Chains A and B, each alone.
Chain A
Amino acid sequence: MAIREDQNRFKTIIKGKVREDFKKYVTNGELIGRREGEFVKISMPRIDIPTFRYGPKQDEKGVGQGAGGDPDGQPQQGQPGSGQGEAGENPGDHMLEVEVSMEELAEILGEQLELPKILPKGSKNLMAEKNRYSGIAPVGPEGLRKFKQTYKKALSRYISSGTYSPDDPVIIPIRRDYQYRTVKKTQTPHTKAVVIYMMDVSGSMGEEQKEIVRLESFWINTWLKKHYKGLETRFIIHDAAAKEVDEETFFKTSESGGTLISSAYKLCQQIIQKDYPFDEWNVYPFHFSDGDNWSGEDTRICMSLLKEFFLPNVNVFSYGQVESKYGSGQFLKDLQKEFENDQRVTLSQIDNRDKILDSIKDFLGKGK
């Protein structure tokens, strides 16, 4: 029915709205909680066609029925006299819930930030063989018979043998006209990628800082997933010591104590060496911290790890520094000094939520 057409049109309009307010969704953590498999559910006000109509109940009166003993109704409307604004922007009226796929979100993100497509490193492409039913064979099970091809074959036999008459276009396929679908091996490039998130959970990282990391890593993941099917993610938290955790713990843990960044880098190195050989994997380490390292000595260890192990091997090493009132932010400066013009390192400073989009652009803008 034609309703599909209208539905698609409506969905396009909705996506346009999501696009318009994209920044709001990026900086609002609500979206992440509403992920269901490959889809994200987004609530938005119902789109209304404006008409001359009465405002929200101004005298809040109505007729009811019953004993009225305990009329415990809360008013459903918001503040009367909502003032100015675009039509249909009255939250609390009727909410629509729309599903947007992660793929589409990634596309919108890419569009908004003008992100370049990621080119996987050439040598790391493995060829994977896949079986697809795209071939044609003269034998096969009846269930796979291709009607169209069979008919064509029969038609051409009729024509070539001169028995076809346009007045009586009856075509009867015989056994040797039959065509069947069959398996054909196709080779597709298979790229494997892993993102390793490291986060400083020392005392100086507050709730807000972690929320920023959470949002940022969500969007980075969304973007990378678009480019690498079957993207793997690993999570490391560290204060003075590092440990690997699952996603949930990663975003919830709050530790206290000092910070030794090198501990995380060392653990990351071990994980990579154990599970992700560089010749097969695209590796993306991300490190978020408030930039407060314990000692200059430890920073030096980090630098040498980066130089000797990470940079030659990973696609890009990303460091995001979240502004916190306790952190000195020294680590970013050290990195800047050390790797000023090195394309293999991206550095980004995230002052507050509103800067998340800029920071994502910093990280992903290079197309690596």
Chain B
Amino acid sequence: MANLTLELEAERKKICQIAKDCGLDGFETVFELINYDQISQIASYGGFPVRYPHWKFGMEYEQLSKSYEYGLSKIYEMVINTDPCYAYLMEGNSMMDQKLVMAHVYGHCDFFKNNVWFSKTNRKMMDEMANHATRIRRYIDRHGYDTVERFIDSCLSLENLIDRHSILNGPAKFSQSAPNVERSPHLFKVEKSYMQNYINPPSYVEQEKQKIITSNAQQTKFPSGPVRDVLSFLIHYAPLEDWQQDILTIIRDESYYFAPQGMTKTLNEGWASYWHSHMMTRHILNDSEIIDFADHHSGTTFMQMGGYNPYKVGIELFRDIEERWNKGCFGREWENCDDVREKKNWDKKTGLGRDKIFEIRKIYNDVTFIDEFLTEDFCVKNKMFVYKLNKETNKFEVDTRDFKAIKAQLLFQMTNFGQPIIKIEDANFENRGELLLQHVHEGLDLQPNYMDATMKNLFLLWKRPINMITIMSNEPQLFRYDGKDYTKHSLSAEKQTENNAMGNLAATSTTNTP
């Protein structure tokens, strides 16, 4: 449990009380004081003390510990979304840093507990992760390290194919039975071969065969609608052994656990930064620490040329919103006012700012947050712009400061939270049990070599050819991997020649693209 020094513990109590007074309502938070090596280890494990064995954690660790040793980076803060919340402080950081981290952590804790996107997360994930590790170690003992590792590699390759919008609905339910491509007619069991013609007369066999043909013909699409939760679909329908199914379930569970954190990055960091800044400057800092705090804080919220800093955008938006709702700069009256001078001095003394930001931290995620609260005034005030690569000079240049373009660009970056949208369209493609995936093209192509390698991994699980519809270089194409070779053909040409075969596909692809 907590092993803080007396001095830190005293500060922790103080900060905890201040956070409560500010209205922050998190889980109980346990701080652990650990050294840089331990913090690198835990950070490589995604914040958890125990994970299943896999080389990717080793690679993370190798990088984190090296970059710390070379003085390139330093992890200040880490907090895990569990109940109680665990957070880590690093030995040897200055007192000001430790206080800042604690204040920041209380912000995160409050967010974890209250934001709706976290309402379904398993708060005992630390135990769960340890259980996952035990299960996977057991499979390793039984099936060998290399076999299990190779399988985990394939699963991790598909880890982002989950349905982020179903987080609140719980796991998808599949009741449809998979069509059997090579189904043989149902025959009664025959003990003696000479009885065959009596027990299963030829007319009966013929009748059964007909049944299959008609049922295959009547078979509705499988799956009946497009499936976003590819992992869940595979768990249900892919021909996997029990241990493989379990590992895939583990990977999916962990993926869903981390998903809300990816969906609320800006909001969460903005919230925590807002509160650490608020608490530090008003209640915690002493005179001698001001400069260090300012240095550290501005380092955190510094927006690099061409980079997107969720801390910065988040904290500025929260401050902007608080001010607007304090002064009543919202609603119809404000929208309809055209007088710049009047708007500048607008103050209805509504004082709703604090309430509003608490409401936001409860029900928004990054996309809805940016969509609703990024205003034109905000963009002007923060001097935001869209940059673009000038192909002639090979330099990035300011493309536009137009508000709509900025917002569109930001929202575009956040669509599906930075991941391509991939759906299963058909799991019995061309009635051959092949998997047909569709990439909903939002303007960016998939990276071809990664796509090929991922299809290969998908093949290892599905064990039948994998097909993928996407747009590559402005041309709709169907990519196929049959276990040995990759083939592709253009769908735009296909449409004209073989209208019948592919017309169906083309239709679905157009209806699904907004």
Contacts and interface: CB of A to CB of B under 8 A. Distances in A.
24 contacts: A2-B51, A2-B53, A6-B56, A9-B53, A50-B449, A51-B159, A52-B451, A52-B454, A53-B446, A59-B388, A61-B389, A62-B413, A63-B387, A63-B410, A64-B387, A65-B385, A66-B303, A71-B305, A72-B395, A75-B395, A83-B448, A86-B449, A87-B449, A98-B62
Given A3-B41, A10-B62, A52-B420, A62 B55 contact: no
A275 interface: no
B45 interface: yes
Contact of A60 (B44, B385, B388): B388
Contacts of A73: 305-306, 395-396
Interface string B361-392: 00000000000000000000011111111000
B289 interface: no
A60 B449 contact: no
B450 A83 contact: no
Interface stretch (B269-277, B325-333, B437-445): B437-445
B15 interface: no
A85 interface: yes
Nearest to A90: B449
B76 interface: no
A60 B306 CA distance: 10
Contact of B397 (A52, A71, A82): A71
A306 B87 CA distance: 73
Contact of A55 (B44, B50, B51, B446): B446
A52 B472 CA distance: 13
B58 A51 contact: no
A75 B394 contact: yes
A50 B394 CA distance: 29
Given A60-B396, A62-B308, A8 B58 contact: yes
A160 interface: no
Nearest to A2: B53
Given A68-B385, A84-B449, A51 B158 contact: yes
Contacts of B153: 49
Nearest to A89: B449
A47 interface: yes
Contacts of A81: 445, 448, 473
Interface of A: 1-3, 5-11, 13, 46-68, 71-75, 81-87, 89-90, 96-98
A64 B303 contact: yes
Contacts of A57: 389
B437 to A, nearest CB: 8
Nearest to B54: A6
B160 A52 contact: yes
Nearest to A97: B66
Contacts of A98: 62
Contacts of A60: 388-389, 396
Contacts of B446: 52-55
B59 A46 contact: yes
Contacts of B457: 50
Contact of B409 (A47, A63, A75): A63
Given A64-B306, A96-B62, 9 more contacts: A9-B58, A50-B453, A52-B161, A56-B447, A58-B445, A61-B387, A62-B386, A63-B409, A64-B386
B157 interface: yes
A90 B307 CA distance: 21
Contact of B56 (A49, A66, A85): A49
B61 interface: yes
Contacts of B49: 1
Given A58-B444, A65-B383, A51 B53 contact: no
B137 to A, nearest CB: 9
B406 interface: yes
Nearest to A55: B447
B57 interface: yes
B399 interface: yes
Nearest to B158: A51
B312 interface: yes
A353 to B, nearest CB: 28
Contacts of A65: 303, 312, 382-385
A71 B156 contact: no
A9 B51 CA distance: 15
A5 B386 CA distance: 45
A85 B448 CA distance: 9
Contacts of B409: 61-63
A58 B389 CA distance: 10
Interface in B451-472: 451-454, 457
A344 to B, nearest CB: 46
Contacts of B395: 71-75
Nearest to B458: A52
B63 interface: yes
B422 interface: yes
A5 B389 contact: no
B421 to A, nearest CB: 9
Query: Nearest 3 CB-CB pairs, A to B?
Result: A60-B389, A10-B58, A6-B58
